[in-house]
């Protein structure tokens, strides 16, 4: 069968199971767009190519499937860079397709020519420059293998205009992927499993770490079996939230810079860390020299380059958690670890950061209240929360209690402002049956709010909760603590968000008192179509606790009195 390169592109994507793509056209990708109309593809027209990449990313994180974004050459391609880097840092499988100038023009500074494979080399797992129609199918097939295998990540395929236009024989089988560098990573030795089990069985104060890899691998069940059998408390990274139910009695909460104080203190007292699918980010460890000084470390991780990268470990178990845990479990003895669990309970009593019910109401609206009420209102239904980056992101992690995997989607590693609204659109496309909420700061919202028009044009029903504090709040907080409250370039104005929503043709609601939070959430949920709620919260509220960058994990800045501190907020 003779097809053009453009037709082969869509034929291959459809065979890979792709139904939705997010993109924006232009000259160098026009042949592909023209061919698209003949294939069963739902195309979402974005307003900025960064949005397309975040949508593909949100789609991937919500579903576990590969997300696809498409753009033209030059500025279309460079607009994708931030989204590709975001996916890279958080191990999210996306495939980005870009048009390129004709192959004979490459290197001539042709109109909208840019070396996008060069630019994205360090922020993709792999990328391709395809200059012949014959190479399109193989590139697509390999890109999908690479994006989702092992440690997932982004792959870019740059296709010249002539490769899209010329024809060749289409042979799917002959284009079988050849990925010589890739193999299933070797399983750890039997001796390593024995060693790990011996450490677990001997430990008096162990903590299990649940990271993003737990959800990527789908290893929630064996993790729970491990925790239940050996009564080991479980702490999560930001991206691990949802990997172990928040309501499980052994779940002690998030670790790290804005983690729970008792979790960080427990880590410093622990005699064993069992780290599962997490990479000891600096937001997690604080000062490495004083990190978990008494603890042996077991690291279960699919990417060998993560072993001993930041934290020296005693027993690495390299492999997919899904394969490793079932081999480890039979060697782990039952234990009640009552003394250690009591100790953590005491730490919680002494050192809990907050009782949001005790925050003085006095007409103030606190972001913590908003998030906690949002959780109360949505906890019984299948809900995905997609956050942006900043204070509201941390409050979400602290006050919205996630019981199921893939119910929190957030940019952790790159910390990309502007992520939430487009990623929420992608998540809704992937899981239309779920309610999808974007929780976003007034700063990040203004970075990609143009995508509200995308949601309207393609009838994508997302709800947007703007946590509007009139500041680039997280940066203001750093200025408050470390720059003597000199608020350089952090006070932030914005448009009237209700009127803005209405201008986009969607419903807008403003909320400035606690009593109005639940009714507004209920109104948004019962409204068919996108809604924006402008939550006008306290302007100079602060996220506690905070481990200053590079400080010891136990050296947290705590909430000053007079607010009563207990852990009860449910």
Site residues for ligand TPP, 415-434, by CB under 6 A, read 415-418
Q: Which of 11, 22, 36, 49 is catalytic?
A: 49
Residue 50 is a catalytic residue: no
Q: If you write DSSP's letter for every residue of 314-379 in order, what string do you get?
A: SEEEES-HHHHHHHHGGGPPP---HHHHHHHHHHHHHH----GGGS--TT---HHHHHHHHHHHHT
167-169/2-4 β-pairing: antiparallel
Q: Show Cβ contacts of residue 70 under 8 Å, excluding neighbours closer than 6 positions.
A: 21, 22, 23, 24, 29, 32, 52, 96, 97, 98
Position of tokens 């990527």? 216
Q: Which stretch binds ligand FAD (CB under 6 A): 51-59, 164-172, 297-305, 480-488?
A: 297-305
User: For residue 174, what is the DSSP state?
Assistant: G
Minimum distance from residue 519 beta carbon to ligand FAD (Å): 30
Q: Which residue in the list 55, 417, 447, 474 is annotated as catalytic?
A: 474
Interface characters, 341-380, with ligand TPP (x: CB under 6 A) = ----------------------------------------
Least Å from the CB of residue 467 to ligand TPP: 5
**Start-to-end Cα distance in the chain:** 62
Q: Is 444 in the site for Mg ion (CB under 5 A)?
A: no
Known catalytic residue at 161:
yes
Q: What token pair was written down for 159?
A: 């296709």
Considering the candidates 112, 165, 309, 565, report the single residue annotated as catalytic: 112
**What is the distance between the alpha carbons of residues 498 and 477, in angstroms, rounded to a whole number?**
27
Q: Which is nearer to ligand FAD, 128 or 280 (CB)?
A: 280
**Residue choice 51, 83, 99, 213 for contact with ligand FAD (CB under 6 A):** 213
| Closer of 140 and 465 to ligand TPP (Cβ) | 465
Contacts of 112 (CB under 8 A, 6+ apart): 26, 27, 28, 72, 73, 74, 75, 76, 101
Residue 161 interacts, among ligand TPP, ligand FAD, Mg ion, none and using kind-specific CB cut-offs from 5 to 8 Å, with none
> Residue 390 CB, nearest distance to ligand FAD (Å)?
6
d(CA 309, CA 325): 22
Joined together, the tokens standing for residue 264 give 């960080």
Asked if residue 469 binds Mg ion (CB under 5 A), the reply is yes
> Quick check: 187 binds ligand FAD (CB under 6 A)?
no
Q: 104 forms bridges with which residues in the sheet?
A: none
Binding residues among 404-443 for Mg ion as defined by CB under 5 A: 441-443
Q: Which of residues 117 and 393 has its CB atom nearest to ligand FAD in the complex?
A: 393
Per DSSP, the residues of 230-249 read HT--EEE-GGGTTSS-TTST
165 vs 8, 201, 212, CA distance in Å?
10, 63, 41
Told to judge if 112 belongs to the known catalytic residues of this protein, a careful annotator would answer yes
Q: Which is nearer to ligand FAD, 137 or 317 (CB)?
A: 317
- Identify the residue whose tokens are 């919260």: 537
Residues contributing to the site for ligand FAD (CB under 6 A): 90-91, 151, 211-213, 216-217, 237-240, 254-259, 277-279, 281, 283-284, 301-303, 306, 320-321, 389, 393-394, 412-413, 415, 474
Active-site amino acid positions: 49, 111-112, 161, 474
Residues contributing to the site for ligand TPP (CB under 6 A): 388-392, 415-418, 441-444, 467, 469, 471-475
Residues contributing to the site for Mg ion (CB under 5 A): 441-443, 469, 471, 473
């Amino acid at each position: 069968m003779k097809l053009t390169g453009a037709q082969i592109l869509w034929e291959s994507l459809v065979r890979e199971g792709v139904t939705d793509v997010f993109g924006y056209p232009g000259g160098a990708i026009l042949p592909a767009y023209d061919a698209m109309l003949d294939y069963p593809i739902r195309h979402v027209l974005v307003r900025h190519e960064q949005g397309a990449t975040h949508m593909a990313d949100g789609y991937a994180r919500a579903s576990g499937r590969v997300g696809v974004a498409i753009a033209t050459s030059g500025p279309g391609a460079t607009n994708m860079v931030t989204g590709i880097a975001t996916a890279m840092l958080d191990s999210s499988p996306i495939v980005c397709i870009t048009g390129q100038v004709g192959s004979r023009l490459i290197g001539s500074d042709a109109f909208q020519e840019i070396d996008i494979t060069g630019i994205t080399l360090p922020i993709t797992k792999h990328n391709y420059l395809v200059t012949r129609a014959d190479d399109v199918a193989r590139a697509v097939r390999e890109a999908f293998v690479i994006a989702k295998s092992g440690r997932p990540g982004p792959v870019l395929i740059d296709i010249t205009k002539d490769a899209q236009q010329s024809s060749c024989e289409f042979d799917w089988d002959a284009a079988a992927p050849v990925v010589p560098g890739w193999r299933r990573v070797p399983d750890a030795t039997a001796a390593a499993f024995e060693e790990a089990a011996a450490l677990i069985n001997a430990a008096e104060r162990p903590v299990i770490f649940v990271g993003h890899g737990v959800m990527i691998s789908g290893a929630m069940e064996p993790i729970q079996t491990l925790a239940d059998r050996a009564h080991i408390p479980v702490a999560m990274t930001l991206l691990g939230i949802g990997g172990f139910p928040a309501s499980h009695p052994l779940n002690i909460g998030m670790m790290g810079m804005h983690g729970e104080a008792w979790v960080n203190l427990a880590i410093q007292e622990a005699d064993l860390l069992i780290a599962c699918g997490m990479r000891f980010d600096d937001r997690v460890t604080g000062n490495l020299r004083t990190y978990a000084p008494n603890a042996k470390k077991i690291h279960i991780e699919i990417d060998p380059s993560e072993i001993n990268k930041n934290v020296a470990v005693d027993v690495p178990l390299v492999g997919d958690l899904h394969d490793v845990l079932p081999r480890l479990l039979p060697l782990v003895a039952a234990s009640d670890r009552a003394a250690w669990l009591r100790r953590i309970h005491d730490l919680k009593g002494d050192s809990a950061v907050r009782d949001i019910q005790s925050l003085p109401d006095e007409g103030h609206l606190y972001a913590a209240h908003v998030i906690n009420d949002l959780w109360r209102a949505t906890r019984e239904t299948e809900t995905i929360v997609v956050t942006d980056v900043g204070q509201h992101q941390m409050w979400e992690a602290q006050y919205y209690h996630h019981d199921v995997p893939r119910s929190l989607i957030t940019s952790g590693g790159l910390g990309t402002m502007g992520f939430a609204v487009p990623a929420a659109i992608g998540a809704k496309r992937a899981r239309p049956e779920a309610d999808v909420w974007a929780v976003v700061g007034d700063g990040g919202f203004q970075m990609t709010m143009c995508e509200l028009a995308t949601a309207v044009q393609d009838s994508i029903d997302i709800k947007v909760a703007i946590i509007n504090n009139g500041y680039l709040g997280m940066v203001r907080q750093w200025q408050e603590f470390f720059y003597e409250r000199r608020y350089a370039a952090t006070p932030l104005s914005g448009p009237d968000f209700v009127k803005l929503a209405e201008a986009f043709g969607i419903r807008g609601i403003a909320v400035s008192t606690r009593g109005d939070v639940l009714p507004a959430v209920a109104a948004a949920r019962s409204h068919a179509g996108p809604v924006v709620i402008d939550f006008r919260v306290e302007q100079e509220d602060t996220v506690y606790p905070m481990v200053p960058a590079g400080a010891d994990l136990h050296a947290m800045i705590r909430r000053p009195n007079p607010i009563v501190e207990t852990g009860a907020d449910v």
